[in-house]
Amino acid sequence: MKLSTIPERPRVLVIDDEPVTSALLERVLDLEGYDVTIALDGASGIDAVRADQPELIVLDLNLPDLHGYDVCRAIRKETDTPVFVLSGDSDAVEALDVIDIGADDAAVKPCAPHDLAARIGVLHRRQVEAALREKARASQRRMAKTVGAGFALTMVALIGLGITFASQPEPVDVPAIDDAPVTVVIDTGTIVSPEGDTEISAKTISR
């Protein structure tokens, strides 16, 4: 997910067929700064993922039409949006089967609402941090391309003028002896003119 697509109030899709649980989650997450959409079965949940493109998904495993495993797999084919599994199936959660199907975290019902909100907040922060890293990498790639293109254009311009650099010797450090003046001549490169004449450019440093 791109950083520019994350809204000020992240969208959370809750896929759960229990009205009481869904209403509680909606109220708690709304207070935490999220916009919440409710889907009461797996099929409508998958449709909502495609239509709404939420930033986070809370998924119950025991749905009336599809098993949560199948819903999570279908979601993973559509997006890498973080999926938090909240289920009464403690065996599945404790066995980490939910991680194998592509979920990012899981908790067993009943779960304290504020603990749930905190864990969902961790997933959201990870998502934002990943978007920031991707933005930084993209910026570095653009900068590298710009610098490379600028260097290439400079070389093309010099070649167009008939100027080429045949050599670039390394600077030579000559230490001073006592306080006697020292004169150092450093060859900074050989410039070949279009006519074929050769002129050696030198720099004199006196101290």
Q: Is the pLDDT of residue 179 over 60?
A: no
What whole-number distance in Å separates Cα of residue 190 and Cα of residue 164? 8
pTM score of the predicted model: 0.62
Arithmetic mean of pLDDT over the chain: 76
Given pLDDT bands bounded at 50, 70 and 90, which one contains residue 187? very low
Percent of the chain with pLDDT over 70: 65
Mean per-residue pLDDT, 28-35: 91
CB count within 10 Å of CB 170 equals 7
Between the ranges 28-37, 83-92, 148-157, where is the mean pLDDT highest?
28-37
Asked if residues 30 and 39 have their Cβ atoms less than 8 Å apart, the reply is no
Q: Which helix (H) or strand (E) holds 23?
A: helix 19-31
Mean per-residue pLDDT, 42-66: 94
Residue-level pLDDT at 170:
52
Domains of the chain: 3-136 (3.40.50.2300), 164-206 (no CATH)
What whole-number distance in Å separates Cα of residue 187 and Cα of residue 200? 7
